């Protein structure tokens, strides 16, 4: 059945014919074999493409709607012939020539049609058909007849030099590839397969989608190009589908139209056990399956559907369709017998016995869809475009002729019954918007398409529902705490997972780079987020701080007690013999040295930072200088030794003054010494001034030790020279050890080291010099008499 005639006429009204070309029937090549003699032959049959019958009903709906309109084309009736367009170069040319000839027998360059007026052709369900038919019409000198293509938008068909009378009714889909990639990114599918038609439109899509995929680190596991020539079932079974299904990629993106991808439609389900997720572009109907042989179903697939407005009255019109209401429509009768599976049983009995109460709405979605498809919507607009062009022609009182239609058609724009604005100028055509639908099968064998998202090109965004989805990746995802490291020489999707470097975290999956935590935060154990650091300092309430404070107070109390003993027994020979004034100064200095260590405890403030080093430095300098000064009086007068103490102590006071005047210490934070803590400390201001201050004390300590060592053999009492020498040895040992320990520690440990050095050196001086004397004063008073001292001195002299 090459042509179907539908004529709906007003009585005594002029007739204008629109010949549309639809793919309603298909030549099915069977995979089975029939025996004939000694030969095995494949057999073929004509098979209905039931879902495409909606296109024929759409043009009938539009024509009847226009013929009922009292304003649009008054006193003129539209009619139409429907020609079957097989997806084959040979059969496409055959159907086109049959229309041009007007009779069953093809007579090129000769027309046998009746004297009806054909002013426009609607066809081109695919880009290939549009090219073939458009070229033929131009070749046979029909450039004035408008050819309205309702197939997918193709930039090639926009070449007006080659196709001056061709109009593309579909919206532009130049952003479709971006929507597909956004779906892949949304579900984290990075290892996918690409299937497209082997033509220029397919090449353009591959170039665009692979470029967009590269921006989002999505890789193509394979690319299959399907030839656009006529399909045979065995091609699918032996070549294409086995390669596709054998791929490890779980997600396959398919670009093409329903007719061009016949080999996928008729693939046998039992050949494939691996489930795939299919993503279909808008012109491939994933729900369509063969009604003759069991074919592969694409349950779970995602499809992009043109977002179109609902045409009022269309569903009611479809529900009203029944063969007994239009008995002269033999095509509808044949469709009805086929779609309800009663053709073989009731072919001779008539359609009365075939599902008399059935409606199209009762059919499953893979057989017939009550929702107007994107192709049907463009067909509906194409019929109205012709009607409006004819209406404009009538308003100018021009004769209705095909050679004049083109000048009116190219400038037409109108609002259809759905409220959408339709332009014939392709440059003013809008960018397509899409609903993203999921092809589902319910437990009761009901099939349906469920909207799960949408893509709006102007906003360049995809919004969709997130649910449990399969994975399609080459490398397993890198969890938070790890980063992707691309393997050299491999695609960006092939990577290994490396742990984030120290101090950095990754909070998301599959990140390229880890991020550093802020200074006041640190990585947690799993390295997947940052925690706030705890502010800390050497607090007097914590065990270590409390221990150091008690030690300092205890030693200072002991020093004060020794001072009290020396004052109480100041007139005894042992106190007089050791320069009472210098002994008092030394004990007072040691007391302040021990107490100044308390300034290092607690939260540093501007006052404590300002006082602690300078106070310690001055009083400790006095103690260091005073210790050997008591022996110097053996060489010089007491007044001279006191001057030495004042001079050297005064130098330290000057150094401290310069330090405090130029760059004084101040409270500061140290976020780096401990990973999980921020140390509150005193910044010494000028490192040069601080180390000059320590160096001067070290110089005095070394000098004091030298003097004490040289005076060790001078006559004295109670082995005082040995005690002083030993005390200075202890003092120097403590501070020599202090410097490397201070440099190698951070945070609170630095403060502990300095406090310990102060306490240890002060206790060393106190223990070595004064404890032996207190022992004599308090426990051995018989040795603390003048005669005993003289006797001991003379014996040593």
Relative orientation angle of helices 748-765 and 580-596, to the nearest 10 degrees: 160
Nearest Cα to Cα of residue 193 among 140, 150, 246: 246
User: Mean pLDDT for each 10-residue chunk of the chain (797 residues)?
Assistant: 44 62 68 42 64 91 92 85 73 71 64 64 79 73 64 81 83 89 90 88 92 91 78 54 80 84 61 71 79 65 89 94 81 85 56 71 89 91 90 80 75 90 82 89 83 80 58 82 85 86 89 90 91 88 91 92 90 77 85 89 88 83 69 51 76 85 87 84 84 80 74 56 71 78 80 88 84 84 66 50
754 and 728 Cβ atoms separated by less than 8 Å: no
Q: For residues 507 and 629, state if they share a domain.
A: no
* Predicted local confidence at residue 640, as pLDDT: 62
Q: How many CB atoms lie within 10 A of CB 94?
A: 16
**167, 257, 261, 527, 543 from 283: Cα distances, Å:** 18, 5, 10, 47, 77
SS3 label, residue 566 = helix
Question: 398, 425, 452: which is the final residue of a domain?
Answer: 425
Structural domain span for residue 137? 3-29+43-173+370-425
Asked whether 776 and 792 are in contact (CB, 8 A), the reply is no
DSSP string, 325-350: G-TT-HHHHHHHHHHTT-HHHHTTT-
Which CATH number characterizes residue 133's domain? Answer: 3.40.50.2300
Residue 280 domain flag? no
Same domain, 486 and 595: no
Helices 580-596 + 543-568 axis angle, to 10? 170
- Do 142 and 18 fall within a single domain? yes
Report the residue count for the chain.
797
Residue 248 makes CB contacts below 8 A (sequence gap 6+) with 191, 221
104 secondary structure, DSSP code: S
Rounded Cα distance between 64 and 80, Å, is 11
In a domain? residue 149: yes
Output the pLDDT for position 38: 39
- List all residues 6 or more positions away from 249 whose beta carbon is below 8 Å from its beta carbon: 191, 192, 193, 221, 222, 472
Q: Are residues 51 and 102 in the same domain?
A: yes
119 within a domain of the structure (yes/no): yes
- Could you give the CA distance from residue 333 to residue 347 in angstroms, rounded to a whole number? 10
Whether residues 77 and 18 share a domain: the answer is yes
Q: 417 and 486 share a domain?
A: no
CATH number for the domain that contains residue 651? 1.20.1070.10
> Which distant-in-sequence residues (6+ apart) come within 8 Å of 736 by Cβ?
none
- The answer to the question of residue 348 being in a domain is no
Q: For residues 408 and 387, what is the distance between their CA atoms, to the nearest angstrom?
A: 11
Residues 707 and 772 in one domain: yes
Q: For the residues of 262-286, what is the DSSP string, one character each?
A: HHHHT--GGG--S--EEEE-TTS-T
- The verdict on 497 and 419 lying in the same domain is no
Residue 745 located in a structural domain: yes
Residue 6: what pLDDT?
46
Domain-embedded: residue 35: no
Q: What is the pLDDT of residue 676?
A: 84
Question: Quick one: pLDDT at residue 636?
Answer: 47
Claim to verify: residue 93 and residue 146 sit in the same structural domain: yes
Evaluate whether 73 touches 391 at the Cβ level (below 8 Å).
yes
What is the total count of domains within the chain? 3
Are both 520 and 585 inside the same structural domain? no
Q: What is the pLDDT of residue 61?
A: 94
**Quick check: is 54 in a domain?**
yes
What pLDDT is attached to residue 179? Answer: 92
Judge if 69 and 138 occupy the same domain.
yes
| Residue 50 placed within a domain | yes
**393 and 515 fall within a common domain:** no
Give the single-character DSSP code of 299. Answer: T
């Amino acid at each position: 059945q090459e042509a179907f005639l539908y004529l709906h006429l007003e009585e005594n009204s002029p007739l204008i014919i629109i010949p549309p070309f639809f793919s309603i029937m298909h030549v099915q090549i069977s995979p089975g074999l029939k025996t004939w003699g000694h030969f095995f032959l494949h057999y073929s049959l004509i098979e209905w493409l039931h879902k495409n019958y909606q296109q024929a009903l759409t043009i009938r709906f539009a024509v009847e709607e226009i013929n009922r309109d009292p304003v649009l084309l008054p006193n003129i009736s539209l009619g139409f012939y429907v020609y079957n367009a097989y997806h084959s170069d040979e059969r496409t040319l055959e159907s086109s020539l049959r229309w041009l000839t007007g009779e069953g027998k093809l007579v090129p360059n000769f027309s046998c049609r009746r004297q009806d007026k054909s002013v426009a052709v609607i066809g081109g369900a695919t880009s290939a058909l549009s090219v073939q038919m458009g070229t033929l019409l131009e070749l046979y000198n029909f450039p004035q007849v408008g050819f309205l293509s309702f197939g997918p938008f193709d930039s090639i068909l926009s070449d007006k030099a080659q196709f001056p009378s061709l109009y593309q009714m579909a919206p532009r889909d130049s952003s479709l590839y971006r929507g597909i990639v956004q779906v892949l990114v949304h579900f984290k599918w990075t290892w996918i397969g690409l299937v497209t038609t082997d033509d220029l439109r397919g090449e353009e899509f591959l170039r665009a989608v692979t470029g967009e995929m590269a921006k989002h680190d999505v890789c193509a596991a394979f690319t299959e190009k399907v030839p656009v020539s006529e399909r045979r079932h065995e091609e699918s079974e032996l070549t294409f589908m086995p390669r596709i299904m054998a791929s490890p990629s779980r997600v396959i993106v398919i670009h093409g139209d329903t007719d061009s991808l016949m080999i996928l439609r008729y693939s046998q389900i039992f050949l494939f056990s691996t489930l795939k997720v299919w993503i279909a572009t808008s012109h491939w109907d994933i729900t369509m399956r063969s009604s003759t042989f069991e074919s592969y179903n694409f349950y779970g697939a995602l499809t992009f559907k043109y977002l179109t407005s609902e045409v009022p009255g269309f569903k009611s019109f479809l529900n009203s369709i029944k063969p007994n209401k239009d008995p002269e429509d033999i095509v509808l009768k044949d469709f009805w017998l086929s779609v309800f599976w009663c053709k073989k049983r009731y072919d001779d009995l008539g359609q009365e016995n075939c599902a008399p109460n059935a409606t199209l709405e009762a059919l499953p979605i893979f057989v017939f869809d009550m929702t107007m498809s994107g192709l049907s919507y463009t067909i509906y607009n194409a019929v109205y475009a012709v009607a409006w062009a004819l209406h404009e022609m009538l308003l100018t009182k021009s004769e209705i002729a095909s050679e004049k239609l083109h000048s009116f058609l190219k400038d037409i724009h109108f609002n259809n019954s759905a409220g959408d604005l339709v332009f014939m100028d392709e440059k003013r055509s809008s960018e397509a918007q899409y609903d993203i639908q999921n092809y589902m099968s319910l437990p009761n064998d009901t099939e349906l398409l469920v909207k799960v998202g949408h893509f709006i090109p102007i906003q360049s965004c995809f919004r969709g529902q997130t649910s449990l989805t399969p994975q399609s990746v080459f490398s397993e995802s890198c969890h938070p705490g790890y980063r992707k490291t691309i393997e050299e020489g491999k695609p960006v999707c092939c990577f290994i997972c490396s742990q984030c470097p120290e101090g950095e975290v990754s909070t998301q999956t599959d990140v390229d780079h880890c991020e550093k935590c802020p200074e006041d935060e640190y990585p947690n154990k799993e390295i997947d987020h940052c925690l706030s650091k705890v502010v800390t300092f050497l607090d007097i309430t914590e065990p270590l701080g409390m221990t150091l404070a008690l030690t300092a107070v205890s030693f200072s109390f002991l020093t004060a007690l020794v001072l009290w003993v020396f004052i109480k027994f100041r007139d005894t020979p042992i106190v007089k013999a050791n320069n009472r004034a210098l002994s008092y100064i030394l004990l007072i200095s040691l007391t302040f040295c021990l107490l100044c260590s308390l300034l290092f405890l607690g939260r540093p403030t501007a006052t404590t930072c300002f006082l602690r080093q300078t106070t310690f430095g001055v009083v400790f300098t006095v103690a260091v200088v005073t210790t050997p000064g008591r022996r110097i009086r053996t060489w010089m007068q007491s007044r001279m030794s006191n001057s030495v103490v004042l001079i050297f102590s005064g130098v330290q006071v000057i150094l401290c003054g310069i330090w405090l005047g130029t760059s004084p210490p101040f409270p500061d934070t140290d976020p780096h010494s401990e990973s999980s803590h921020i140390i509150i400390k005193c910044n010494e201001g000028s490192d040069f001034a601080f180390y000059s201050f320590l160096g001067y004390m070290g110089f005095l300590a070394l000098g004091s030790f030298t003097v004490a060592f040289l005076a060790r053999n001078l006559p004295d009492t109670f082995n005082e020279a040995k005690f002083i020498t030993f005390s200075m040895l202890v003092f120097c040992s403590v501070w020599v050890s202090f410097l490397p320990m201070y440099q190698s520690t951070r945070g609170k440990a630095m403060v502990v080291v300095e406090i310990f050095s102060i306490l240890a050196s002060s206790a060393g001086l106190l223990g070595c010099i004064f404890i032996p004397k207190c022992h004599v004063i308090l426990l051995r008073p018989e040795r603390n008499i003048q005669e005993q001292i003289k006797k001991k001195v003379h014996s040593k002299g």
